[in-house]
Structure 1
Amino acid sequence: MEPKRDNDTPTSESNPTDAKDIYTTAIEPAGDEKHAAAEALPDRDGVFGELDDQAKEYRSLTAWGAFMIMTKANLGVGVLAIPGVFHSVGLVPGYVLIIGLCAMMTFAVSYIGPFKRRHPECYSVADALYLVWGPAGRDIMAFQFCIGKISAIASFLVSIATCLNAITVHGACTAVFIAVAAVVGFLLSSIRTLHKVSWLAWVGVVSISVGLLVVTIAVGIQDRPAAAPRTGPWDKDLRIFANPSFTQCISSITTIIFSYSATPTFFSVLCEMKEPRKYQRVMLASQGLMCVIYLVIGTLFYYYCGQYVSSPSLGSAGPLTKRISYGLVLPALLVSLCIWTHIIAKFLFVRILFGTYDLTHPTKKHYIVWLSINFVSTLLGYLFASAIPIFSVIVSFIGATCSTPGTLLPFPIMWWHDEWRRRPWAERKPKLATAIVYLTMVLFACTIIVSGTYSSIKQIINAKATNGPWTCADNSNSVPKK
């Protein structure tokens, strides 16, 4: 895939003839006709080419469908780790981190819309960096994007294995459960368009919402959490402000970043939206909802369980409720696995077949490439999940090494390229405050990447002694210890 280079890319400012690009053509009103006529797709897309009846399937994602995919992509294993963050750093610092990081990432991805409008040939952040740094920038970002998404696939495979262990009370080897989850994930992710995947996202959001509601009610009405002493007094040890170690502090930050790590995929979601003008409001609604969910669910779990909150937090309400809640959220975890595998596969699929007839038409080559990429992505996720089958460790590791550079670094670079790089000082001056915000974001990201990677590697080394790769051991704490 070879997007146009910087000096060849038309923009609304520099080339009036090309100003009505694929983005604006799709969103401008058409006279007095409303809805269908106003939102009619153009004849050609910057990514998918000529939009005949077959190709239009790739630009059929509704605003509600986009909202559900964005929300479900973020609403997964991250929310299950938030109560532990509150205990590590304290309730108030935890609130500051969740709200602050949400605001930072929302500000970053808000630039996807304007950037896509100016560069309609871009499908991902990797394509965006091609415009800035050429093939090297694209390949580096593509590698990071793939590693990050494969790591996320691994986290969902581990979560599903944990779920199956809890439901069956460790009815089979954990390595077997991970393999089963990988097979199901491959089958679901082979659905070709995000529009069709969006129907699964509805199921996933309802599933995890009901599961969280059940376990939240359970921890609120029970006498004590499952991990607390069975008899005698027990202390929640609720902390408004804690005194975390450096490792705990960095691990908490990377865990929250992981909870918002789906934001780079919003680029791909926008590319398949039928009404791209609605991206900004859909994104803001999704991010706002995620922030509220993390604060409310995290606070309730932490208030009722304190230091005895489980990781993942669904195990906090006792064996029976644990099995019920894991059963309820299992569809949600499968949907998350489907979405993340689909997105990385679609990224590679577009990269390989860009500009060809096979990209959007159901030819033999189309299906061979699509299914092969899905299989390889799932296989790599399976290998990673089997190597580090521990929930808290894998979440922290992904947050540091993959989520941070993927969610915080590309968007300041995109903004710098379009809004600052070649502008005269008279045009830069009004944007100085924005430039400072983006520079702060880059410095913060670099700090977290270095310190977070060091912290997570230490955790992996310490955890390896008890849970090695391809282990059969129970990772859900469902089997009573002898």
Structure 2
Amino acid sequence: MSSTGTMRGTPKRPQSNLSSQFNDSPSNIPRPKLESAISESGGHSTLSASRAKQSKRDEAIRSKIEKDLNKKRSGANRHRQTRKAPPGTVAALKPNQALQIKPNTTVTDAAQLMAAKREDCVLVTDDDERIAGIFTAKDLAFRVVGNGLKSNSVTIAEIMTKNPLCAKTDTSATDALDLMVRKGFRHLPVMDENHDIAGILDITKCFYDAMEKLERAYSSSKKLYDALEGVQAELGSSQPQQIIQYVEAVRSRMSGPTLESVLNGLPPTTVSVRTSVKEAAQLMKENHTTAVLVQDQGQITGIFTSKDVVLRVIAAGLDPNNCSVIRVMTPHPDFAPLDMSIQQALRKMHDGHYLNLPVMNKESDEIVGMVDVLKLTYATLDQINGMSTGDGEGPAWNKFWMSMNDGDTESMMSGEGSSHAAPHTPEQTRSTMMSPDHSARPGMDRLGSVVPDDSASHNGVPDMDEHSALGGATGQISDTPFTFKFKAPAGRVHRLQIVASQGLAELINVVAEKLGGEVEGIGGMPTFEDGKLSHSGFALSYMDNEGDTVSLTTDADLLEAITLARQAHKEKVDLFVHDPEKPAIPPTLDPQPLGNPPTPPESSLRQRKRYEEDESEDEEMSRVTERRRSRKEQPKQQEQAIPGVPNEMLLPGALVVLGAVVWYILLLALKGRDMEDDINKSSLDDGYKPSVADSTANGHANMASDDVEKHTFPGEDDETQRRGSKYDKGDPFGDEEGAEVKYRTLEWWQAALIMIAETISLGILSLPSVLATIGLVAGIILIVGLGLVATYTGYTISQFKAAYPHVHNMADVGEVMMGPFGREAFGAAQTIFLIFIMGSHLLTFTIAMNAITSHATCTIVWGIVGLVIFIVLTIPRTLRKVSYLSIASFISIVAAIMITMIGVGIQEPDPVVQATTSVPFASAFGATTNIIFAFAGHVAFFSFISELKNPNEFPKALVALQISDTTLYIIVAIVVYRFAGPDVASPALGSTTSVVMKVAYGIALPTILIAGIIYAHVAAKYIYVRLFRGTPHMSKRTWLSLGTWLGIVILLWVIAWIIAESIPVFNNLLGIISALFASWFTYGLSGVLWLFINWGGWFKNMKKSALTVLNLLIFGAGAAICGIGLYASGKSIHDSSGTGESWSCADNSA
């Protein structure tokens, strides 16, 4: 075992001691729930459905960020094309292309860039494109979130590591990687000879690449032995076996140690599902780890890492202070047993694309530690570093990294004495600030052995002088053809390729051949003797990297010209062929303008060239600086959320429209009584026939209709008055003259307020998340379209009520159409639907209380508190009394909406707002069901009409409802989505800061309570009317009537409470309700009602024919919504089954 300190765990012990070492572990962290999470193989582990869902969310975040970045970015980053790198150098390790940003970039922008590009490390460059700093995902988690800083106000310059150590492309790979191991670096920037950024080394990637090549080499070692057996005479009998021993020795060392050997005996850091991201980051920082395990009721349910902080929190625009880790963790992580080898663990982590792996003791079923990819890489490299391949060849460390060289040449060599050129001389190595321990290492292959994947062209070159500027790369450069280009005196441009090892004489001959008869015009054919170019004949020159014209007179000059061009990442050398008595002519491809001035002396030309280059660079820097300044001064062009409407006018306009709607509703409430006196009070003297309408009521449309066929029903011919002096056989409440309890007391504006309180309260909470799912355009179209359809279906309900005045609820509807069976079926459906909605309101109450109190107590306790409040407020038996509460509900929801919009409006708008999206069908349809639910108040319309003083005025209440809810839905959905972005919370009141969210929830409590009370009242009234219809208990205050009403209320709310505790996921609950019930009561059933009351007259005329087709389509839409919605909601619950529990005390407001 190496003493370098990288193996910080307990030394390897016999198997009998393995379990005892960790049996007394203080972790007491139990085995995870999913048995399949533990895998002893190094392959892929099967992702759970919840992990797959989280992966889709990550891809969605990246996709949205990348689209936004593409809109902002005018050009792509520069990418340098490099030729094949010399073996044994940093360039041969193939550094990754570095992600570069400027110091004044905000942390939020940097995180989004990292998320989009899937990078963990970013280089910070100054105005000269030189490296100024470096930062990683760990820095963002520790220095920003862990310190409680705001990511949108902190710049990278404040948190980056300044002036990091760097390597050069020609630095020895061994020395660079040795430095990374000793210093504990995972990333190391790489620069070329001109100090330009060439890339960034990731030691884990380098290790994986080398490991894969060694595994391939091991699998083919026998084939290698057989191939070399026939040439043992030339290579020596020990050579093939030596190769096999080397590969097998490295592989054996890599496979040997287990995870138990690298653990330090300390348990992993754990957090609760309710822990905020900020607190989790602080724990990471305190415990010097980049990952924590997430617990829920003693079980490990997920893992949260610094990468999650970057992608799922900062880049997604979430607030670390009020975002719980359960929202952003990776559910059900994989685990590894103690006896898994390090190589297997690394393979498992590489294939699974994660950097941290919890370790479990299978005997005690406890999690005993956590390993990360860097620790395992260091442990393996430490093993390899201590190896020796035998016979004085040196440590296997060198050969391991040399196996990284490209294996494109597989030829074998014969002969003795061949050796690799040293990749770097001691002088060069010291100049790159690498490890001094290995700088003076002798050549790695002095005995002529062949390292796996070596190329024949890399051998046989004698060692260069240690002070040579070319180092070990000279052999490759001198044997590789390189392009030269020059312009002949006549203007013709020539390209040619020269191999440096052929010498300057070959270049002269090729140039002379290209020039032909033009040679005499520039001095004639030169001679090349004694390794130098003669003074007679034409001269050859080139421009070096400093802008000077340099003559080519020797073979060394030729080699240096090629080397400098390669270092400058040029693909050719621009050659000047000229008379030696005259200065060189620049090799421009553009035709020379007429009347050029005389050519100045060479010294003046050189100075002018330098001046022009400096001036050109200054002008370019000025243009770059001006562009940067203009970008800073000009605000970012943001895509308009609504085409044609500036984004800065969106919030003020929304508030103005909202105020107008509020004024409209309040005006209705204040003027309702005065308007009543002006209304024509002529009622349906013939028993409330649909053919008699209130055509004079405040200018509203005639309700009766030629569309409804006339029917007879009990009491039709009795002379009655709706105001109630006489008993109406068709009326559910009977004769109310002198009654103690009167039900038919509701004004139309009071009914409108009740309907608004019933409908808007819950529906508005989920609509911003709908826009985030299906896109802005589709969301608005669906809100408006479904609102219009809901208006028509509500009017159809009023027509059915006009035809059958005795109908008080859906059970009565079922009896009219299907007899006793229909009554029971429709009555059960209505009751179940209303109980589910009551449960959802009770669930919302617990969410609100957890948000307001920061989960001060168990969620079940809040459920019980809400249960008692709902029961008490549902005791009144008439809707008129409930209408007084609905006024408070309306004010409450409007105030909460305004606070929420202002709260999100003062924040920086989220950059990711999409007009359209591409989402799976199930997700899109699940979101659509939330819009359906937002208009799903129709189940109570029969009850509301039954308690109106004048049922003919119901269309007024319906119009007031639909204008109000459609307007509010559109305003709230657009504004909240525009500012909160794709991760908008559902309910939407949570889409703001912690303080504003608590205030908004507190103000919205009356709405949550009163809407639930209205649904409970309708459900209880159905049962109560069915029990006492036609009896004195309907209109008297008897102990039986009071006790029965209270008992019904308590029973319904207890059942609703059970529903709320059993299905803790808010959106999924809404999806089930919408799919199973709202689809029929709001849409499909209304089509059936119209067809029923118009039986026999469907195609009487064109109007009836069109309405028949329309109602058939509405019926079909209801059926489709029901079927597909049930599938989508069921799939959603299945996919999210791991993110919540029934009857849990856990915080459900996250």
TM-score normalised by structure 1 residue count: 0.88
Correspondence for 2:892: 207
Residue 1045 of structure 2 is aligned to residue 360 of structure 1: no
Q: Please state how far the C-alpha of 1:112 moved relative to its aligned partner.
A: 2.3
Matched, 1:433 2:1106: yes
1:144 touches 1:406 (CA, 8 Å); kept in 2?
no
More strand by share: 2
**Structure-2 residue corresponding to 1:134:** 819
Matching residue within 465, 469, 473 for 2:1142: 469
1:136-163 CA-partner distances (Å, limit 9, x unpaired):
1222111111111111001101100000
Q: Matches of 2:860 and 2:775 in 1, distance apart? A: 35
Amino acid aligned to 1:110? Y
SS of residue in 2 equivalent to 1:44? coil
Note the alpha carbon deviations across 1:233-287, whole angstroms, 9 max, x for none. xx53211111121111111111111111112211100100112221011111111
Larger Rg: 2
Q: State the distance in 1 between where 2:1120 and 2:843 align.
A: 28
170, 179, 182: which one aligns with 2:864: 179
Q: 1:171 to 1:434 in 2, by over 3 A?
A: same
CA offset at residue 416 of structure 1? 1.3
1:439/1:460 Cα in 2 relative to 1: closer, same or farther (>3 Å)? Answer: same
The answer to whether structure 1 residue 64 and structure 2 residue 752 are counterparts is no
| 1:5 alignment partner in structure 2 | none
For 1:256, the equivalent position in structure 2 comes to 931
Q: Which residue identity is paired with 1:43? A: K
CA contact (8 A) 1:185 1:337 kept: yes
Tell me how far apart the structure 1 counterparts of residues 780 and 912 of structure 2 sit (CA, whole Å): 18
The aligned counterpart of 2:996 is 321
Letter in 2 for 1:358: H
1:62-95 CA distance string (max 9 Å, x none): 1221011000000112101101111111111101
Q: 1:363 to 1:169 in 2, by over 3 A?
A: same
C-alpha change, 1:440 and 1:323, in structure 2 (3 Å) is same
**C-alpha distance 96-352 of structure 1, shift in aligned 2 (>3 A):** same
1:81-160 alignment, distance < 5 Å: 81-160=766-845
Alignment of 1:330-479 (within 5 A): 330-419=1005-1094, 421-423=1095-1097, 427=1100, 430-477=1103-1150
Counterpart amino acid of 1:289? S
> Structure 2: how far apart are the matches of 1:205 and 1:325?
14
Q: CA deviation at 1:306?
A: 1.3
In the alignment, is the contact (CA less than 8 A) between 2:814 and 2:826 conserved in 1?
yes
Identity %: 29
Instruction: Quote the Cα distance in structure 1 between the aligned partners of 2:759 and 2:718.
Output: 30
**Aligned-pair CA distance for 1:430:** 3.7
Of structures 1 and 2, the one scoring higher in RCO (CA 8 A, sep 6+) is 1
Tell me the distance in 2 between the aligned counterparts of 1:430 and 1:16.
Answer: 26
Change (3 A) 1:334 1:239: same
- Is contact 1:11-1:19 (8 Å) kept? no
Q: Distance in 1 between matches of 2:718 and 2:906?
A: 57
Distance of 2:953 and 2:689 partners within structure 1:
23
Does the Cα contact within 8 Å between 2:875 and 2:1049 map onto a contact in 1? yes
Give the conservation status (yes or no) of the 8 Å contact 2:834–2:1019.
Answer: yes
Q: Output the CA distance in 2 between the equivalents of 1:125 and 1:449.
A: 18
Does the Cα contact within 8 Å between 1:10 and 1:18 map onto a contact in 2? no
* 1:15–1:130 distance in 2 versus 1, CA, 3 Å: closer
Residue in 1 that maps onto 2:291:
none
Task: Look up the equivalent residue of 1:440 and give its one-letter code.
Answer: L
Does the CA contact (< 8 Å) of 2:1020 and 2:1052 recur in 1?
Answer: yes
Q: 2:869 aligned with 1:195, yes or no?
A: no
Contact 2:767 2:973 (8 Å CA) reproduced: yes
TM-score (norm 2): 0.37
CA distance in 1, matches of 2:712, 2:988: 54
136-145 or 11-20: bigger deviation? 11-20
TM-superposed deviation, 1:316: 1.4
| C-alpha separation in 1, matches of 2:712 and 2:1117 | 36
C-alpha displacement at 1:211, in angstroms?
0.9
- Stretches of structure 2 lacking an aligned partner (at least 5 in a row): 1-687, 692-709
**Contact conserved, 1:124 with 1:268, CA < 8 A, in 2?**
yes
The one-character-per-residue Cα deviations of 1:110-151 (angstroms, maximum 9, x if unpaired) are 022222222111101221221111111222111111111111
Name the CA distance, whole Å, in 2 between partners of 1:306 and 1:238: 6
- Taking structure 1 as reference, are residues 11 and 393 closer, same or farther at Cα in structure 2, changes over 3 Å only? closer
Matched residue type, 2:845: I
Report what 2:952 is aligned to: 277
C-alpha distance in 2 between matches for 1:220 and 1:21: 60
- In the alignment, the residues of structure 1 paired with residue 913 and residue 940 of structure 2 have an alpha-carbon distance, to the nearest angstrom, of 36
1:197–1:339 contact (8 Å) kept in structure 2: yes
- Structure 2 counterpart of 1:208, one-letter code: I
Give, in whole Å, the separation in 1 of the partners of 2:989 and 2:955.
33
- Separation in 1, partners of 2:864, 2:980: 33
Instruction: Name the CA shift for 1:201/1:436 in 2 (closer, same or farther; >3 Å).
Output: same
Counterpart residue type for residue 755 of structure 2: M
Q: Decide whether the 8 Å contact of 2:713 with 2:804 is kept in 1.
A: no
Displacement after TM superposition at 1:10 (Å)? 8.1
CA deviations 1:290-340 (Å, max 9, x no partner) are 011000010000111111311211111111101111110011111111111
Judged with a 3 Å threshold, the aligned counterparts in structure 2 of structure 1 residues 219 and 47 are, in CA distance, closer, same or farther, namely: same
What is the rounded CA distance, in whole Å, between the counterparts of 1:308 and 1:73 in structure 2?
27
Is the Cα–Cα contact under 8 Å of residues 125 and 410 in structure 1 kept in the other structure?
A: no
Alignment partner of 1:217 is 2:892 = no
2:766 touches 2:986 (CA, 8 Å); kept in 1? yes
Structure 2 residue 975 is matched with structure 1 residue 309:
no
Letter in 2 for 1:267: F
In structure 1, distance between residues paired with 2:713 and 2:980: 60
Check if 1:287 corresponds to 2:962: yes
Q: How many residues align?
A: 443
More divergent stretch after superposition (399-408 vs 427-436)? 427-436
Contact (CA 8 Å) 1:61, 1:273: kept in 2 or not?
yes
* Mapped partners of 1:10, 1:365: distance in 2: 35
* 1:43 correspondence with 2:718: no
The code of the aligned residue for 1:109 comes to G
Unpaired runs of 5+ in structure 1? 1-8, 27-39, 225-234, 478-482
Paired amino acid for 1:316: S
Residue 409 of structure 1 and its aligned partner are, at CA, apart by 2.4
Whether contact under 8 Å (2:813, 2:826) holds in the other structure is: no
Give the whole-Å Cα distance in 2 for the aligned partners of 1:309 and 1:77. 16
The CA distance in 2 between the partners of 1:145 and 1:95, in whole Å, is: 29
- 1:342 and 1:108 map into 2 onto residues whose CA distance is 23
Q: Which amino acid aligns with 2:797?
A: I
C-alpha distance 237-17 of structure 1, shift in aligned 2 (>3 A): closer
Corresponding letter in the other structure for 2:864:
A
Whole-angstrom distance in 2 between the partners of 1:285 and 1:61: 15
Q: Secondary structure at the match of 1:307?
A: coil
Calculate the aligned-residue CA RMSD, in Å. 2.1
Q: 1:16 Cα shift? A: 12
